[in-house]
Chain A
Amino acid sequence: MTITEQLEIIKQLVLKERKIVTYEWLSKYLNIHVNEAKPLLYKFVSEYGSSNKESFYTVYCISGVSTINDQHTVTLIYQENLENIRKDFSKVSSLHVYSVQPKCPTEAELVKANQGSIDKVSTEPVLPSNTNREVTLTANKKESSNTSIKPNEKESEKVNPTQPEISKPNTVTIKSAFSKEKQLINKQNDDSHLGKATSHEIETSKEEQEDRQSEGKQFVNQQKNDKTEDIVPQDESKTSNKKSKKRKSDECESNLDEASKEGRVNNKQKNDLDLQNTTEKFMTIMTIDNAEKDQPQEKQSAVSASPDQQSALPTKKRGRRQTLKFRSYVNEKGYTVRENYHEWESFSEDESVLEPPAKKSQKAIKAQEPKGVAKRVKKKKGDNGSQKSLLNFFGKK
């Protein structure tokens, strides 16, 4: 990836996606050394800073000996203080760009911007691959973490950051709930997602494979499910991608734009299929991403997968699981009994989607349980499970 391409990516991230791009995050995103990320950011600042009407804000980091107490100090400075800081430091040992963002960030946002990129790894599910893909994926290529680059290579250097023209109204809204941080890139997941989605492509277009980080992800054997996944029209995924909590929304978008032409050709056949299952949509979004990314496959990327790839990736869950359900019935003595029982059921959900309903269902179950228990067993004398203090005995005042 050339410097120009990288600068374009940064521009995309900062101006269009309104992200906070710190040097550390950028180094992971582009898979470059931190010492390369810093001057890169500065190049971006100097090139786009004055000319562009779209402005952004820069935070610098300075380290040196302060004049106040002759103490080695490391601190962050906002761009307006850059010149003033001279008088506070008698010696400067290092000065570099810390982050670039659309507007002046708060401290909490800055800290989160770095943290988010690290947390993301564990929360993002990996798309399940189907067996076809496994077979077809051969090369153990490290996918460019910055997928937007692929489209660049495919078409032009320009990243077209426009929104997908096709936006289906029924895009999944769950994604919107997720915080910005989660959008930070986990290239790992990207690749894995891409890989999974690619399978669909591969089936149809027989494009070359790329190995998407299959690090022991679950390969759920649901051919059926995969098929339904294929169905998602690319367009839909585009918009839903934006809200996708799986980071790489940026790349998704850019991918979508760039590869849209190619992708759409491939996907049109799938577009005919029916999408009903909203829970599948999530996965489909991922698959679409992958579909998009599929295009620029051959493009060798300087940006290889981030080192985070080795960490555990969240997997898209599919399969049968044992859930706790409850039912009520009247037993032989005439008592209504509510009991909990375990039952196996099949599911296919992403963890992200899974979590909120899971929590709710757990809460619901827990709320039911005490009731059920109380009814089952004849009430013990004086046993009122909800009494919290002695004063309750005297009744409400």
Chain B
Amino acid sequence: MNKINENSFPVEGLAASDISFEQLLSKTAEEKANVEINRVKISYNDMPEYRDKLNIKKNSSRKQYASIYFIRYEELSPIVLNAAKVKWNTGASHVDKILEVKPDTLCYIVGTVYMEMQYKPNILAEVSRDDWEPIPPPREKYYSDTDEIWLEDDSGRIKLVGDSLKKEVIISGIIMAALGKENSQGDFEILDICFAGLPEQINTTVRMDADDDDKYVALISGMNLDTDGALETRLQLMLEYLTGGLGSFPEQQNFSSKISRIIIAGNSLAEVKVVPDDKKQKKYGYDNSSYDAEPRIQLDNFLEKLCSLLPTHMMPGNHDPADFTLPQQPIHPNLLPKVGRNPNFHGVTNPYWCELDDVVFLGTSGQTIDDMYKYIESEDRIAIAERTLYWRHIAPSAPDTLWCYPFERYDPFIINQMPHVYFIGNQKEFATSLIEGPNQQRTRIILLPSFSESGVVVLLNLKNLKCHTTCFK
């Protein structure tokens, strides 16, 4: 689990101290200048089995959220049970219903975790709060020492205690198996816990052949185009680099032309901040004169240039004009008139599953990890991302603290297939790690930094799942 920036720059660079700039600048490359460099092509499969689950067709919010928990439990608990049996079958027995746990007997139980936290936003507290009290500011973390962890199944719930809990990352909504025994106070003392484990991966040995050309997929998030209307130079540089204008011929041939797609993981538009203007007459309700279409038009122009030369997949983020609840639907093509109907442009959901050249990608725009980050004490975001794979669920804190749509028949966030690449957008900084599972599963986890802050674009080599970052200044 190394978190070092694995930078593998394939273009042979010359040491800066050695070369003469004159030589570089005047390289006419006469013999090569007229050679057309073609961009590599890769196949795209948008994985309809996931896409259909994530695309909400009938938008009805009149359902209860209990269903999603029930489905989650139904689907994941057999898997967790099997894993638990493998782990603990010697010596401990499984108790079907939590209510039937007998004191002082070593056993293991399976259920959904619920965390009782005093700082977690609580709808009952909000409703019962008196009107004159100011709204408490949103906290960065819900974690506190008084948190309680409960395990629930369809029969009842029981409180979990024990020191081993502190070592683990536990979030509301995960399906977990706990080994221990009930103590005199009615709490379940934990000795060990077990999760669903990494799912199976299809095509595990897919990317091992060395004779193929390098093919890269660019991942970027957080462009945050703003109302001042100025397209920054770095965005312009990035556009030129990816579309093949920038760079000398060797770099273009060996690197830029190998970039086959770009996935934009959310937050292409900046968060809208309404500046209160005292001179303006106050309007009750929504003041639509405060809307500035400039960033969206900028984005449209930018994407138009990008899409003409590079297939683009754009996911919505929490700043973008898309649903607030997960799974966010694709940004409506009419919002981006120039590029919306362009066949090279794919507006996709958040979270997003796709398959590029047999490499399965799973990505979110960051809301899932950001929400889970509030539950735990540590700052390690990549650990959270890894845990989600072990829990087999992208967003276990939905719908508790993360808004999501009340699904009735299925839970679209369950990971039942191990992706090859798991990327999360709009994080603080770039981080990556490679997970290897017991059945030869390999997953590259990538945390994408926000481009507006760092200027970093991540280029993933499909051949060997290595990451390369390019910074535009």
Contact = CB atoms under 8 A, between A and B. Distances in A.
A90 B16 contact: yes
| Pairs A-B, 5 closest by C-beta atoms | A91-B13, A94-B248, A75-B473, A93-B13, A39-B28
12 contacts: A24-B245, A34-B245, A70-B7, A72-B7, A72-B469, A76-B237, A86-B17, A92-B19, A93-B13, A94-B246, A96-B248, A110-B233
Contacts of A35: 29, 32-33, 248-249, 252
A114 interface: yes
Interface residues of A, number: 51
Given A72-B471, A92-B16, A61 B246 contact: yes
Nearest to A70: B7
B233 A93 contact: no
Interface in A350-397: 388-390
A367 to B, nearest CB: 17
Contact of A93 (B17, B245, B251, B301): B251
B124 interface: no
A97 B9 contact: no
Nearest to B37: A35
Contacts of A177: none
A3 to B, nearest CB: 10
Interface string A101-139: 000000110110011001100000000000000000000
Contacts of A27: 245
B246 A72 contact: no
A86 B15 CA distance: 9
Contacts of A118: 305
B471 A74 contact: yes
Nearest to A64: B13
> Considering residues A42, A83, A96, A118, which has the most beta carbons from chain B within 10 angstroms of its beta carbon?
A96
B309 to A, nearest CB: 12
Contacts of A114: 236, 240
Contacts of A64: 13, 16
B413 interface: no
A107 B470 CA distance: 20
B16 A63 contact: no
Contacts of B47: none
Given A63-B246, A65-B13, A92-B13, A111 B232 contact: yes
Nearest to A58: B25
A100 to B, nearest CB: 12
A95 B24 contact: yes
A329 B232 CA distance: 55
Contacts of A390: 284
B341 interface: no
A76 B238 CA distance: 12
B142 interface: no
Given A64-B16, A65-B13, A92-B24, A23 B471 contact: no
A217 interface: no
A389 B284 contact: yes
A110 to B, nearest CB: 6
Given A63-B251, A74-B473, A93 B12 contact: yes
A175 interface: no
Interface in B61-109: none
Given A35-B29, A91-B15, A93-B13, A115 B231 contact: yes
A82 interface: yes
> Considering residues B5, B33, B231, B248, which has the most beta carbons from chain A within 10 angstroms of its beta carbon?
B248
Nearest to B9: A72
A91 B255 CA distance: 15
B291 interface: no
Interface in A1-37: 23-24, 27, 33-36
A325 interface: no
